[in-house]
Amino acid sequence: MRHVIYPGTFDPITNGHLDIIERATTLFDLVTIGVTTNPAKNPLFSVAERVTIIGDVTHHFSNVRVEGFSGLLVDYAQRLGACAIIRGLRAISDFEYEFQMALVNRKISDGIVTVFLMPHEKYTYLNSTIVKEVAMFGGDVSRFVPPTVEAQLKKKIAERQ
Ligand code: ADP
């Protein structure tokens, strides 16, 4: 069975992430979305909240599962018996960092392959930070995220004010 991990912060998951997940489901038998703690990014949602939201917006995929993880990505991949890591490439600006990460992961563990997928062009400008900024200023994010995410963003922002 070809099992792949799609790791990330997903704070929150966007239509760009979902585009990548959908592509991955056609290439692999099982896709595990690994939600990282990443305190450096000062996330708006807790890992548990992100896992719940992602589970909600991916339940129509029969071969997708989601969970939180911490520690080294390659260790996590080995624990799960995954053969590859998926990363999304939006633009040239993503390339340098992603290339470095992929090479470091390959140095640590030779057996794990990083696969880069490109989203539809309409999502290349999209990231979670932009979505949060627009939402915090009361802007409409309905084109960027599924309705569940939009509702959770509104709720979380209202709680914080
Ligand atoms: P990380 O903290 O790992 O960068 P993100 O949630 O920002 O977490 O992104 C997870 C992965 O999804 C990364 O590979 C990133 O390049 C990719 N990604 C983020 N936004 C998009 C998008 N709009 N289109 C395609 N890939 C994306």
Query: In a mutational test of the pocket of ligand 1, which residue from 41, 127, 149 has the highest number of ligand atoms less than 8 Å from its CB?
Result: 127
Assign domain 3-124 to a CATH class. Answer: alpha beta
Contact (CB, 8 A) for 69 and 54: no
Average per-residue pLDDT for the chain? 95
* pTM higher than 0.85: yes
Residue 106 annotated as catalytic: no
| Per-state percent for the chain, helix, strand, coil, to nearest 5 | 50, 20, 35
Residue 13 has pLDDT above 80, yes or no: yes
- Segment 5-33 mean pLDDT: 98
Contact (CB, 8 A) for 39 and 74: no
pLDDT band at 92 (very low <50, low <70, confident <90, very high): confident
Residue 94 has pLDDT above 90, yes or no: no
Domain boundaries, the chain: 3-124
Residue 128 annotated as catalytic: yes
Catalytic-labelled residue, pool 2, 41, 59, 122: 41
Tell me what pLDDT residue 146 has: 98
β-pair type (64-69, 113-117): unpaired
Residue 109 annotated as catalytic: no
Residue 90 annotated as catalytic: yes
Residues above pLDDT 90, as percent of the chain:
90
Tell me what pLDDT residue 91 has: 83
Pocket lining: 132 vs ligand 1, CB cutoff 6 Å: no
At 25, give phi and psi (nearest 5°).
Answer: -65, -25
Pocket lining: 8 vs ligand 1, CB cutoff 6 Å: yes
At 34, give phi and psi (nearest 5°).
Answer: -100, 115
Contact (CB, 8 A) for 65 and 32: yes
Pocket lining: 45 vs ligand 1, CB cutoff 6 Å: no
Give the C-alpha separation, 149 to 119, whole Å: 19
Give the C-alpha separation, 125 to 121, whole Å: 8
123-139: pLDDT as tens digits: 999 999 999 999 999 99
Residue 39 has pLDDT above 80, yes or no: no
Query: Hey, what's the torsion of the CAs at 13, 80, 36, 158, to 10 degrees?
Result: 50
Tell me what pLDDT residue 64 has: 98
